[in-house]
Amino acid sequence: MKFSGCIFSILLTFTLYLNGAPAAAAELSGETEACLACHALVTPGIVGDWHASYHYKSSPAEGLSKRRSSRRISAEQVPEPLADTAVGCAECHMMNADKHSDSFEHNGFTIHTVVSPSDCATCHPTEVTEFADNLMAEAYANLMHNPTYAGLIESTNGKHEFTGQGISFHGSDPVTDADSCISCHGTDVKVVGVETRETMMGEMDFPQLSNWPNTGVGRLNPDGSKGSCSSCHMRHQFSIEVARKPYTCAQCHKGPDVPAYKVYAVSMHGNIQKSVDKNWDYKAVPWTIGKDFTAPTCATCHASEIIDENGELLAKRTHRFNDRLPWRIFGIPYAHPHPIAADTSDIVNQAGLHFPTELTGEPVPKFLISPAEMEKRQGAMEAVCAGCHSDQWIKGHFARLDTSIETTNHMTLQATKILAQAWEEGLAAGIPQGQNPTNEAIELKWVEQWLFFGNSTRFATAMGGADYGVFADGRWYQAKNLQEMYDYLKFLRATKAAEK
Ligand code: HEC
Ligand code: HEC
Ligand code: HEC
Ligand code: HEC
Ligand code: HEC
Ligand code: HEC
Ligand code: HEC
Ligand code: HEC
């Protein structure tokens, strides 16, 4: 870089930085001080955000000195010299430099931009190992490597063309995909070149990253790791408070296909959270039920470590977000027992489709958890409820979920039968014809039957918000849509007869 003219401003910034920064409990490394000398001027937002984080306030050694139940780091030991300084810019952005294909020379340091789960693992190994077993960590492959879902991507993201005779379909382009499906599922981030940029401190070289920016849960990182911890712990505060609040999950879980946040927001739990959470402590570790919070958030039911006021453990923390989920109520196309492996792209049914159930709804047992495992996970979820509800309330709730799964699957099957009839009679071209099953009008209605209405109904039963199980995307639409699919079948038959 060209140093002329900027040395003065760097020195000035650093002096201002030292005067303005909140007192750090932990010492900063020399490398991090060098980053700050520039970055307090270049990216003051990042530096300010980091000042508010635990990473600025305490060193790994201090973190490890806490009682086990209050620890925020899961490593048993953190190597020197990392242990004794604050976790600063250099500690994260220079970690495992040799494993990063995005490493580059930056003002005398070898750094990378994409700090990955493998980098966090030096101090947080348990969270990283657990997260890797999560459907979320595999969300890229689960979508992009499953040939049966390819049609859904094309129908949604492709540029369709009216030809006068019909509509022709073209594959989607990578920029649209990155802005659509894989903005949540995660993109494939690779180094695709080097660019020289004019910065406020002269010319510098940076690696060019493909499909960047992205914070999808299953992002493929340049060091070969999967996922992005910042999808729930946004940089640079990396806070537990943010992850425990439902708004964070809402970014990706809002629907109408995945309406977890919508149903939660209008549930009693969500209402209590919005009304009284100013009296809650979202930062406490461990998290005490009744004292720190009085109604569950997404994190409480799916991930959090929860104790009672006697210190008794109700639920152990997990970053494997399916540890408490017996079912996959997100049905493509049917709800079914949860998959065993995080990577679902290998699942094949008897008909050769990459679905966890047959088209008629029977689960493909080889790939799905056993009844014993389902019971164990059910028990783990109920242990959370039991902190605030009695057994009769909890059992009554889950009996409704069993029925909701059964009735919504039944309604999906009826829609599938109508579509299968249309395919058989040659009124639409789908699976039997080796064509995209999700691009003609009657097929789109079939997709809505399960993707929107089946899922919405089940999510409303599982997590509250009854409206979403009835007149807002729920049972009403399931019934109406089925009727319309049948009428559409008759219309297609009449059209075909008229053409003859
Ligand atoms: C001499 C000043 C200077 C020093 C020292 C410095 N940086 Fe930078 N850094 C910059 C400038 C300028 C940019 C460009 C910002 C932009 O694109 O607007 C930058 C960009 C970056 C980026 C973003 C790269 C990208 O992908 O676009 C990261 C990450 C980064 N610096 C981290 C660090 C770390 C970590 C250190 C310390 C080890 C450090 N920097 C030291 C000036 C500096
Ligand atoms: C705990 C680890 C950690 C620490 C400490 C940390 N970073 Fe980062 N930083 C990250 C992660 C993770 C990302 C990428 C976020 C993502 O996955 O999207 C990132 C991204 C960045 C970027 C690119 C952001 C953009 O929008 O272009 C810059 C620049 C950067 N960091 C600078 C810094 C500076 C300066 C410091 C010190 C004040 C710092 N980082 C401290 C983990 C860290
Ligand atoms: C060099 C060790 C180190 C690395 C690397 C590291 N952390 Fe941390 N992390 C810590 C320490 C130390 C604390 C605070 C411990 C304490 O004060 O009890 C912490 C705390 C946290 C917390 C809890 C914050 C809160 O509000 O309670 C989260 C979340 C977190 N880190 C996420 C990350 C993520 C994500 C990464 C990677 C992008 C990362 N950390 C990288 C050492 C590290
Ligand atoms: C707003 C974020 C977001 C976008 C955009 C998004 N998804 Fe998803 N997707 C999710 C979430 C969240 C889940 C998990 C749903 C659940 O478990 O309730 C999911 C799950 C899936 C699954 C299940 C994968 C498996 O086997 O486990 C498929 C298939 C899928 N999405 C397809 C798509 C397609 C196709 C697109 C683009 C047309 C898309 N998604 C766009 C958030 C998103
Ligand atoms: C950046 C987007 C994103 C954010 C933020 C996000 N998720 Fe997800 N989540 C997904 C996607 C995508 C999937 C589906 C992955 C698949 O099926 O392949 C998913 C799947 C899940 C699953 C099913 C997991 C399993 O293994 O069966 C649960 C439960 C879940 N998310 C809960 C949450 C909670 C709770 C939060 C907030 C603390 C959250 N998610 C934040 C995108 C996100
Ligand atoms: C889907 C959302 C989500 C993702 C992605 C995620 N976390 Fe978390 N994380 C949470 C939630 C929720 C909590 C709060 C758990 C609790 O209340 O006990 C948490 C808590 C933590 C804590 C604090 C633990 C403690 O002992 O206080 C650390 C550290 C952490 N996460 C690290 C990570 C790392 C590293 C990654 C990337 C591999 C990651 N997280 C990815 C949601 C997420
Ligand atoms: C009161 C506890 C509770 C709260 C609060 C809660 N959930 Fe759930 N969640 C459940 C239950 C119970 C199920 C269904 C169990 C099953 O699928 O086996 C479920 C299912 C899910 C699923 C479907 C998983 C799958 O594999 O099909 C996702 C995704 C999810 N929840 C995300 C969230 C998000 C995001 C929030 C917050 C906006 C949230 N949950 C709030 C209890 C809760
Ligand atoms: C931290 C406490 C807490 C936890 C944990 C909790 N709930 Fe609740 N829940 C409440 C409170 C408080 C209400 C409001 C009850 C009232 O005023 O009648 C409520 C209400 C409900 C309702 C009534 C909704 C309605 O519209 O009638 C159901 C059903 C419910 N909870 C089920 C569950 C289930 C199932 C779990 C576990 C998966 C769970 N809750 C976990 C505190 C909790």
> Of all atoms in ligand 6, which is nearest to the CA of residue 305?
18
| Same domain, yes or no: 362 and 469 | yes
On whether residue 267 sits in a domain, the answer given is no
pLDDT tier at 169, thresholds 50, 70, 90: confident
| Same domain, yes or no: 49 and 93 | yes
| Same domain, yes or no: 346 and 462 | yes
> Of all atoms in ligand 2, which is nearest to the CA of residue 214?
18
CA of 267 to the centre of ligand 8 (A): 9
On whether residue 279 sits in a domain, the answer given is no
| Same domain, yes or no: 51 and 160 | no
3-class SS letters over 251-311: CCCCCCCCCHHHHHHCCHHHHHHHHHHHHCCCCCCCEEECCCECCCCHHHHHCCCEECCCC
CA of 352 to the centre of ligand 6 (A): 37
Residue among 207, 228, 223 nearest 98 (CA): 223
On whether residue 68 sits in a domain, the answer given is yes
Q: CB of 476 closer than 6 A to ligand 1?
A: no
CA of 128 to the centre of ligand 1 (A): 26
Strand 287-288 with 306-307, pairing: parallel
Is a pLDDT exceeding 80 seen at residue 15?
no
User: What is the residue with the minimal CA distance to atom 36 of ligand 6?
Assistant: 229
On whether residue 297 sits in a domain, the answer given is no
Cα–Cα distance for residue pair 258/184, rounded to 1 Å: 12
| Same domain, yes or no: 30 and 167 | no
Q: For the chain, how many helices (H) and strands (E)?
A: 22, 11
Q: CB of 384 closer than 6 A to ligand 8?
A: yes
Q: CB of 38 closer than 6 A to ligand 2?
A: no
What pLDDT is recorded for position 20?
60
Asked which of 227, 255, 290 is the last residue of a domain, the reply is: 227
Task: Provide the token pair at 223.
Answer: 């060091």
CA of 201 to the centre of ligand 1 (A): 10
Per-residue pLDDT tens for 438-493? 999 999 999 999 999 999 999 999 999 999 999 999 999 999 999 999 999 999 99
| Same domain, yes or no: 374 and 477 | yes
CA of 207 to the centre of ligand 5 (A): 30
Instruction: Return the best residue to mutate from 240, 253, 273, 332 for the ligand 5 pocket (most ligand atoms within 8 A of CB).
Output: 253
What pLDDT is recorded for position 16?
52
How distant is the alpha carbon of residue 150 from its chain centre? 20
Q: CB of 39 closer than 6 A to ligand 2?
A: yes
pLDDT tier at 18, thresholds 50, 70, 90: low
Residue among 255, 281, 322 nearest 465 (CA): 255
Per-residue pLDDT tens for 320-357? 999 999 999 999 999 999 999 999 999 999 999 999 99
Contact in structure between 339 and 328 (CB atoms under 8 Å): yes
What pLDDT is recorded for position 2?
41
Q: What CATH number corresponds to the domain at position 404?
A: 1.20.850.10
| Same domain, yes or no: 131 and 103 | no
Q: CB of 298 closer than 6 A to ligand 5?
A: yes
| Same domain, yes or no: 100 and 138 | no
User: Letter for the amino acid at 48?
Assistant: G
| Same domain, yes or no: 485 and 337 | yes
Cα–Cα distance for residue pair 449/475, rounded to 1 Å: 10
Residue range 429-444: mean pLDDT, rounded: 95
Is a pLDDT exceeding 80 seen at residue 6?
no
Indicate which ligand has the atom closest to the C-alpha of 256.
4
CA of 48 to the centre of ligand 4 (A): 34
Q: CB of 89 closer than 6 A to ligand 2?
A: yes
| Full residue range of the structural domain in which residue 342 is found | 322-499
| Same domain, yes or no: 74 and 148 | no
Residue range 103-121: mean pLDDT, rounded: 98
CA of 342 to the centre of ligand 2 (A): 28
* Residue corresponding to tokens 């009085």: 294
Task: Provide the token pair at 68.
Answer: 């086990």
Asked which of 54, 85, 110 is the last residue of a domain, the reply is: 110
Residue range 129-146: mean pLDDT, rounded: 97
| Same domain, yes or no: 409 and 495 | yes
Cα–Cα distance for residue pair 292/271, rounded to 1 Å: 17
User: What is the residue with the minimal CA distance to atom 24 of ligand 8?
Assistant: 268
On whether residue 380 sits in a domain, the answer given is yes
On whether residue 281 sits in a domain, the answer given is no
On whether residue 454 sits in a domain, the answer given is yes
Asked which of 207, 227, 247 is the last residue of a domain, the reply is: 227
CA of 391 to the centre of ligand 7 (A): 19
Cα–Cα distance for residue pair 365/145, rounded to 1 Å: 21
On whether residue 306 sits in a domain, the answer given is no
Instruction: Provide the Cα torsion 211, 124, 143, 183; round to 10°.
Output: -40
| Same domain, yes or no: 103 and 139 | no
**Omega cis (within 30) before 147:** no
User: Letter for the amino acid at 233?
Assistant: H
Contact in structure between 384 and 324 (CB atoms under 8 Å): yes
Domain count, the chain: 3
What pLDDT is recorded for position 24?
63
Per-residue pLDDT tens for 364-413? 999 999 999 999 999 999 999 999 999 999 999 999 999 999 999 999 99
